[in-house]
Amino acid sequence: MTGSAARPLFLATILTGSFLLFLVQPMVARMALPQLGGAPNVWNSAMVVYQVLLLAGYAYAHRLSQLDIRRQALIHLSMLALAALTLPIALAGLSPPAPGWEVLWVPLLLLATIGPVFVVVSAQAPLMQRWYAADPDAGEPWALYAASNFGSFAGLLAYPLLAEPLLGLREQSLAWALGFAALFLLVALAAKARWSAPATPALGRVDAAEEERVGAKRVLLWLALSAVPSGLLLSTTTHLTTDIFAMPLLWVIPLGLYLLSFTIAFSDNRGVANAIVLLTPAAVLFAGSFAMVSASTGTMVAAFGALLLLFDIAVSLHARLYDLRPGTTKLTFFYLVMSAGGAIGGAFTALVAPVVFDWVWEHPILILAGALLLPLPPSLDWRRMAGLDREMSRIALGVLIVAALFFALHLKWLVTDGDNELLQFFLLTMLSGVGLLLLPWRWAFVGVLLLAMLAQGGISTFHTTMEGQRTRSYFGIYTVYDDPVEQTRLLTHGTTLHGKQPLDPSRVREPTTYYGDTSGVGLAIDAAPRLFGAEARIGVVGLGTGTLSCRRKPGQVWTFFEIDPAMVRFSQDGTFTYLETCAPNAQIVLGDARLELEKVRPGSFDVLAVDAFSSDAIPLHLLTDEAVGVYERALAPDGLLLLHISNRYIELEPILAAIAAERGMYALIRRDVPAGDLTVASSWVVLTHSAENLNELKANSGNLEWAPLKPAEGAAWTDDHASVMPYIRWGYILGEL
């Protein structure tokens, strides 16, 4: 099979490999969830590992491409066969990390689990393009890279929409192994199609007159154009889930848009890519101005703006990368440099930034870097207008800079006052218009973007950093600040309130937020002396500000389980005084609660309260049937299990109803809408094997209602099979409720 007739075969091979590659990423992350938890940085760490493995795969493809086609085929098929020995995929049996070592342990676990098979599968995209181009009559191979990323996008969407809802992890792994077998067959057919192709000489022996020269400056530009979108992908994910819109599956959307950007940028048809390149400067100025806003907006408009910005910058920079592509003799080297840039950008965002910055400062930095690298089409340079005097353009530059300062200053005043959104929109539009006119001077264009960021909220965000109000750990970005009106000190994690404490000395022991007197957990703990005696044993998963400790009664033994050392510091360094005031002798167990609870003696607690928020959602691995089994084992036979399920975006009641039915437990829910000034609405579910204690709890609650759970709508979640898709509250996400 010669020439372009083999194109469908190579297209199918590339699509299959890329589909499998991005299907396996969320699958392995899902396998590791019981050990890793669900923090955004876990996904970012996983992405860095995938990028490093992709780099290794591209390096392997580049080295292999220097051989003749027959030797390439024999070696690659042999490597695929060896990788098949690691299938079906199963999680590597590494011991859980010590607290603080998650940043290294997560990559090690993923490397040990899928390293070999990921490397050989990732190599097939550049390698198949090289094989396709080996026939002089085949034509340009670059559109096959666009197809590769479309396959990746399809695999990414297929996981949450099809694989996770329909198949358990074991079945997913077996299905992936069958897909790998299909890929092996397709690669073998592709090798057969090019078996008689002219031998590909080693690149080191290509005649000097024929070999394309690629200078260091061009390679560095390739690296930068690859690194910025890759880093921006991860920073957008963190910024969205932390400061804008914490909703389920949100991490899928930025990655999907990133992959689609390659499909558009590397397409043979340049119309769509060129149109986006023309529109991107306006999007960068307008949407990019919100990149330093750290106050939670929680709106779909803000989330859409952040996603549009990522997509436009990624398409534009990748389109410039495409325009700077070399000839096909340098194809694998080009992709190797691209993957190195992707790994650099990902490492900066996932590994360096959390250590260096107290907030997602990497996000505006990468947007500014993207603005510096944007392609500048000649049609956007108004200085080229016929008859325009060069001196006039210099005068215009000065006038435009003054106008930008004027609009930015007034925008800053309005944002601070916050009382005229229409005028803010007008000023931002005018500032963006001035920035577009300054586009021919790249430095001035980027300067206006920086001014817009500072005016829109960057100064306030920078001020919070300078005052040391934020703490960043592997598990989140926390802000501690005092509310002078309410006279409270608050702890927030982006859009999630973790707790507050009154500053009035007479009220410092008062339980607030989700733990008030009429909350489910408040009623259950207050009933503990009656149900279990004066020395009741209380366990709490999730420390927060330590608010619950002020429900402790004399004689009770309390134990807190907390995964984040930063949270423990808040309760021990005087930032919040609940713990030291109300339960100074409480034991704090540092680590993942599910893993730590497996170590305690059976029947260790009379009451166990699970309150483990992660960006507005309880981590999935803490709500499976196996997880409830761990809690059940840690409880006394007649003990009470309390689970906090206050959540805007996922309906958790049917899930717990299914688990309760599976385990033969009684279950009720307390939906609390308190009247207090320092408390907020909450939903707490109680599960127990003791009907007597449940009735006693209801009687002890007076006229406060404990209601039955909504009926189960499917099977109980398990570690092997769980999907949030059927339980998402789309009305809340779309802003209809």
Per-block average pLDDT, block size 10, for the chain (737 residues)?
A: 72 92 83 64 72 88 88 93 91 70 74 89 88 79 81 86 87 95 95 75 40 82 95 85 52 83 87 93 92 67 85 96 87 89 89 86 95 88 72 86 92 77 87 91 94 90 85 82 90 79 92 93 95 95 92 95 89 92 93 87 96 64 90 96 86 92 95 88 95 93 93 87 78 60
What are the beta bridge partners of residue 470? 479
Contact by Cβ (8 Å): 477, 360: yes
The C-alpha atoms of residue 503 and residue 730 are separated, in whole angstroms, by 38
What is the per-residue pLDDT for 327? 83
Angle at the Cα of 715 (from 714 to 719), degrees rounded to 5? 135
Tokens 């497996």 locate to 598
Distance of CA 11 to the CA centre of its chain: 30
- β-bridge partners, 669: 685, 707
Q: Nearest-CA neighbor of 260 among 126, 147, 376?
A: 147
Distances in whole angstroms, Cα of residue 653 to Cα of each of 33, 390, 497, 643? 21, 69, 21, 10
CA 500 to chain centre: 27
Domains and CATH numbers, the chain: 1-198 (1.20.1250), 493-733 (3.40.50.150)
| Three-class DSSP category at 197 | coil
CA geometry: angle 26, 27, 29, nearest 5 deg: 60
Nearest-5° angle of CA 216, CA 222, CA 227?
125
Q: Is 492 helix (H, G, I), strand (E, B) or coil?
A: strand
Measure the CA angle with vertex 81, ends 75 and 84; round to 5°: 145
CA distance 655 to 643: 12
Instruction: Determine phi and psi for 330, rounding to 5 degrees.
Output: -105, 15
pLDDT of residue 540: 96
